Structure 1
Amino acid sequence: MPIPSSNPRHSLLALACAGLLLGGCSAVSEHQTPATHPPAGGDWQALASGTAAQDPPSDWWRLYQDPQLDQLVTLALRHNHDLQASLAHVDELLALLGQARAQRWPSTTASWQTFYGRTSDDQTEAKATGSRAGSQWNQVPGFALDYQLDLWGQVRQSIQAAQANAETAQAAHDQLQVNVAAGTARAYANACAYAARSAIQQHSVSTVERSLDLTVRQRRAGLVTDLEVDRVRSLLEETRALLPRLEAEHQAALEELGVLTGSEPGQLPAAVSGCQNVPRLSRALPVGDGWALLQRRPDIRAAERALAAAGHEVGMRQADFYPSVSFGASISSSAERLHDLGDHEAITYAIGPLISWSFPNLLVTRARLNGAQAHERQQLARFQQQALVALKEVRQSLARYGGEAGHRDALVGALDSSRNAYRLARVNYQAGALDFLDVLDSERAMVRLEADKAEADRQLVERQIELFHALGGGWQDSPASVPVRSILSATEPAR
């Protein structure tokens, strides 16, 4: 950086005036992370039975002890395209963090200019000697150094803001991993559940087909009328009508799995496509407490880091009220020939401080500070709202899980009773103690309850996955997160 020549006494006077003007100014404020207190009502056991106070593991899907589910989630976390794009965004912000950290060091510029023509020195010499200036090749090497003195913490604040932005992106990436893990588990559970429901529905169709065949034979023997035959045939078509929808939902779940794992549905393992066993937990569902939830959920961490970045932006805008002080040095050569570049007479240099200050018109600076402070208040409100939303989601998921578990238990008891009632109705009908309509009603009730119970199995595992999703696990041990955090936690030398 070229530095204009000046009188040292003038420089000292300028620095003294700046010190007097800044003596009454407050120091640049530092961002303070808002205090987060343990939420009230963190005892989740009151909302749902079958839960435990232990914190859920990061790889919560392994609680189902299903190797196919473990393989699918691992595949999704490695090859999901949304995760790859999110990680690239993190890398982009890490590069910006590297640029911000580079401001701690002096910036240097090396140059070499070669041109043919006349310089101002040639013209001055020609005018002094009364001769004509000639044209020639000129070589102008140069080197400049510029170092900003971070007296008011502006560089430090910009680094901390860039780091907070990178941590926000990392937290958003972690949240996406939670979404992908939960989405993969949900799609796999739906694929297994709809396949199981199709098998149960097919079994119900076979049961009604046998009843229809028996009724037709009884009609030929004159034991029943056409009305009974048409009623059984109607029940058969009603039971069979649900099969295409179940098969379509099963295929849709496989398509969802293909997208989440970054592969085609035809490339999924055969054990996944043919799964008919809905994943089940073999132990109480661990839910932890509200305090651990706030520390675990990536979306809350992202909101807090966005708030931190906004606070550091306020600090940067406050530093704009102070003079910017840089130290610069430059050296170059004015020699016309290569072998004269190092001559003492050809060397030119400059060294000294440079002070710039937007004063006394501070309207633009004040407007920028007001905007940054408003943005910080906005991020604070979002952070507080996100914490409330997280608690609400967990409590809602627990309530729905408890309700679904109770609903399924009731259906299991009702189905057992319905099967026994259908068996007794057939026995009594054959003995002549019941009308055929009673047998048909018992069969229709049993078929409906079998479908309802299969749907309850699917809904229960979906509520479990929804609860795990709300609890925020699935990112802590990700291979992609470890090197990123090591970069974010790297310390810089103090200035």
Structure 2
Amino acid sequence: MRRCLPSFAALLLAGCATAGPDYAPPSNSAATMESAQHAFVSAGDGAFSLQPLPERWWRLYDDPVLDGLVEEALTANADLRAADANLKRAEAVVRGAVANRALSTGISGGASLARPSSTGYSLPGVVDYDAGISLALPLDLRGKIARAIEASEADRDAVAAARDAVRVSVAAATAQAYADVCGANFRLAATKRIVALQRQTLDATRRLEKGGRGTAFDVSRAQAQVDASEAKLPGFVAQRRSALYLLATLLGRAPSDYPAAVEQCDSLPTLASAMPVGDGAALIRRRPDIRQAERTIAADTARIGVATADLYPQISLGGSLGVSGPVKDIGGPTSFGFSLGPLISWSFPNRPVVRAAIDRANAQVEADLAGFDSTVLSALRETETALETYARNRETTAALGRARESAALSAQQAGKLFRFGRSDFLTLLDSQRSLAEAEASYANARAGLVDDQIAVFLALGGGWE
């Protein structure tokens, strides 16, 4: 409730309370459901910890190269620079809204040469002058300006949340690009090991053919396996180069200026302990998109007050001081004038238009509330899905690791049996083909686990302070 000036109380139709509803965070929403506050359903796996997620989650990998890349991206990324500029613009809007409640001044002046037709003056006529200064102080008795300031501040907070969301995405994308470089080299190295083993078999087969124990058909089949494995190598090189180009872009560089030191990375980023994921309540507080949706509700709630205030007169204190008249009388007692009093502005005949604007503002808040619930539920779903995917893919990777060990043992045994003449060449080739497939599947799964980890961190909304 604002204190009104007694001398203008009769000018108000109803009190001087700030128009429109006061904002309060959504009390009956998806964010307040008890089930949304608990630990994640999929976080019961041993891969996760209920410890809070640190702000700079990428440091959990204990990789100085990755740390440096992410910090550089958070400084130089073009999308983040644009988001920072958007925030500066929003802050300027707030300053402009605040300035509307301050004393405003105006200065005017001019001169004219005229000969009225009713006078007998000869040309050129009479020179008149006019100069003055005016002042106006809005009283904002119904709080229209206050609500406008409130709306602009909430808009600024929403833009800040959007900026934080960009930061989250940039950090995750940078870590992902780095992991893709390392993953491509990791798979490339695994395939090269298979090619080396298959070449050993090809060389042995050629020697056996020269010695009369093998056939040209055996050599051609061994050669086919080598060729099939080598055909995969250029694809890994292309994946590595593509990830390097993306990394350069994220760092605000030209693609050709990618960080050369990263090019030979072949060790996958590894977590030393279980992933800290916190709980649903922490997620709702942390996710920038949820905060952006909540601040949007606050801004549009304030705009209901802006629209409602138009139902009442807008009053300000005004005053003016000026001089005017013919130049020949300048400085005379009749050339001075002043005024002081309240200024009233009221578009009374347009009340249906104002009512429509109020209804539109209320409907927008209803839509914002629904959008807020949707954002919260989507955030919870994304996180549960990312956690479940990672947990199950860990199991798959462990099984593929066991399959790879079995395939390696089988290929080793087949090689011995073939050398001692107790097994045919087709069995040896089949065991090596199985090993190549198992090695490739395991390498892909290992690299995919890092992708899953980054997807979890992204869903949790970490990476901003």
The residue identity in structure 2 corresponding to 1:248 is A
Q: Structure 2 regions of 5+ residues with no counterpart?
A: 1-6
Q: 1:467–1:241: structure 2 CA closer, same or farther, 3 Å change rule?
A: same
Q: 1:112–1:388: structure 2 CA closer, same or farther, 3 Å change rule?
A: same
Distance across 2 between alignment mates of 1:339 and 1:298 = 68
What does 1:268-287 align with in structure 2 at a 5 Å threshold? Answer: 268-287=258-277
* Residue 467 of structure 1, aligned match among 443, 449, 456: 456
CA contact (8 A) 1:57 1:473 kept: yes
The residue identity in structure 1 corresponding to 2:291 is R
* Number of the residue aligned with 1:29: 21
Q: Secondary structure at the match of 1:263?
A: coil
Q: 1:312–1:432: structure 2 CA closer, same or farther, 3 Å change rule?
A: same
In the alignment, does 2:30 pair up with 1:40? no
* Number of the residue aligned with 2:89: 92
In the alignment, does 2:71 pair up with 1:71? no
The residue identity in structure 2 corresponding to 1:149 is L
In the alignment, does 2:393 pair up with 1:393? no
Q: Secondary structure at the match of 2:369?
A: helix
Q: 1:150–1:266: structure 2 CA closer, same or farther, 3 Å change rule?
A: same
Distance across 2 between alignment mates of 1:222 and 1:22 = 111
Distance across 1 between alignment mates of 2:267 and 2:39 = 32
Distance across 1 between alignment mates of 2:251 and 2:17 = 57
In the alignment, does 2:207 pair up with 1:217? yes
Distance across 2 between alignment mates of 1:180 and 1:23 = 51
Q: Secondary structure at the match of 1:429?
A: helix
CA contact (8 A) 2:112 2:129 kept: no
Deviation at residue 279 of structure 1 after TM alignment: 0.6
The residue identity in structure 2 corresponding to 1:354 is L
Q: 1:302–1:27: structure 2 CA closer, same or farther, 3 Å change rule?
A: closer
CA contact (8 A) 2:315 2:342 kept: yes
Q: Secondary structure at the match of 1:334?
A: strand
* Number of the residue aligned with 1:290: 280
Distance across 1 between alignment mates of 2:328 and 2:55 = 67
* Number of the residue aligned with 1:151: 141
Distance across 1 between alignment mates of 2:293 and 2:24 = 14
Question: Which sits farther off after the overlay, 167-176 or 103-112?
Answer: 103-112
CA contact (8 A) 1:146 1:326 kept: yes
Q: Secondary structure at the match of 1:229?
A: helix
In the alignment, does 2:315 pair up with 1:325? yes
In the alignment, does 2:156 pair up with 1:166? yes
* Number of the residue aligned with 2:113: 117
* Number of the residue aligned with 1:304: 294
Q: 1:26–1:171: structure 2 CA closer, same or farther, 3 Å change rule?
A: closer
* Number of the residue aligned with 1:62: 59
CA contact (8 A) 1:425 1:439 kept: yes
Distance across 1 between alignment mates of 2:286 and 2:17 = 41
In the alignment, does 2:365 pair up with 1:363? no
Distance across 2 between alignment mates of 1:92 and 1:48 = 45
Deviation at residue 68 of structure 1 after TM alignment: 1.1
Deviations 1:206-226 (A, max 9, x none): 221121111111122221223
* Number of the residue aligned with 1:484: none
CA contact (8 A) 2:57 2:457 kept: yes
Residue correspondences, number = 455
CA contact (8 A) 1:38 1:291 kept: no
Deviation at residue 455 of structure 1 after TM alignment: 0.8
* Residue 80 of structure 1, aligned match among 64, 77, 81: 77
Distance across 2 between alignment mates of 1:265 and 1:25 = 59
In the alignment, does 2:234 pair up with 1:244? yes
Deviations 1:386-419 (A, max 9, x none): 0000000100000001011111111111111211
Q: Structure 1 regions of 5+ residues with no counterpart?
A: 1-11, 477-495
Distance across 2 between alignment mates of 1:301 and 1:244 = 45
* TM-score (ref. length: structure 2): 0.92
Distance across 2 between alignment mates of 1:394 and 1:284 = 16
The residue identity in structure 2 corresponding to 1:72 is L
